[in-house]
Amino acid sequence: MKVLIVEDDPLHRAYLGEAVRGALPECNTVLEAADGLAGERLAREHISDRVVMDLQMSPRNGIEAARTIWRERPDTRILFWSNYADEANVRGISRIVPPGAAYGYVLKSASDERLRLALRSVFIEDQCVIDREVRGLQQKSAGAVSGFTDSEYEVLIDIALGLTDRTIARRRNLSLRSVQNRLQQLYEKLGVYQPNDGDPEARFNLRSRAVTVSLLRKLVNHTALERAEMDLARWLERDGHGPKP
């Protein structure tokens, strides 16, 4: 059995190496990569179908690397290992997991025993293992009342990227009124809506305030924005507004 560790922190990589060897006596090869790009390459070269993946890495984050690996080998088992239980990460992962794939999401604050059980459950027993805190975010994000629908979340990301209402409508194939309705729903759910937002004395710019609150609530993070910026660049190029070759 080969296990690939993709983690940019040397100390964390060493810790994971020890954890993998201790939890998986079946493992005869441990591969290590310091970022997502190197992880994609090693997974491809060594045909490794078991991966422990950090999320916050540069130049390629864990979600982008996992998407590439799953696209090439959908049966790969991936255990995400992160400091953060962000809704942005939860949503990002949910969009790329192939149907029926075994995967896990364990926080770095988890105990050694919890990590050991997660490694065996995902890599040996083909089970999905999600930490309780992460599972709570999954359930919250799936609800339209307490959380955000996918369409509302897309608009949130778009305003974080600085897009105008008209550009959002064009990108998402929506009417201008639909975009504005989604924005109002976002403002209400984030608690920033002001009935008198047309008042020149209003306290906030609602778009900027919504982005700030979403960052503080970890609905959006660096990984999500990095991924969204790449998606936007691809859309702009298809739409005829991207950089010319």
pLDDT tens for 12-59 read 999 999 999 999 999 999 999 999 999 999 999 999 899 999 998 988
Most confident of 40-54, 150-164, 171-185: 40-54
* pTM exceeds 0.75 for this model: no
Q: Are 102 and 77 in contact (CB under 8 A)?
A: yes
Neighbours of 154 (CB within 10 A): 16
Measured CA to CA, the distance from residue 181 to residue 199 in angstroms comes to 19
Q: What is the pLDDT of residues 184-209, one digit of tens each?
A: 888 888 888 765 555 555 678 889 99
Predicted confidence (pLDDT) at residue 79 exceeds the cutoff of 70: yes
Q: What structural domains does the chain harbor?
A: 2-142 (3.40.50.2300), 150-239 (1.10.10)
Closest listed residue to residue 40, CA positions, set 21, 25, 62:
62
Q: Is the four-CA dihedral 215, 219, 223, 228 of positive or negative sign? A: negative
Q: Is 208 helix (H, G, I), strand (E, B) or coil?
A: helix
N- to C-terminal Cα separation, the chain = 44
Q: What average pLDDT is seen over the chain?
A: 87
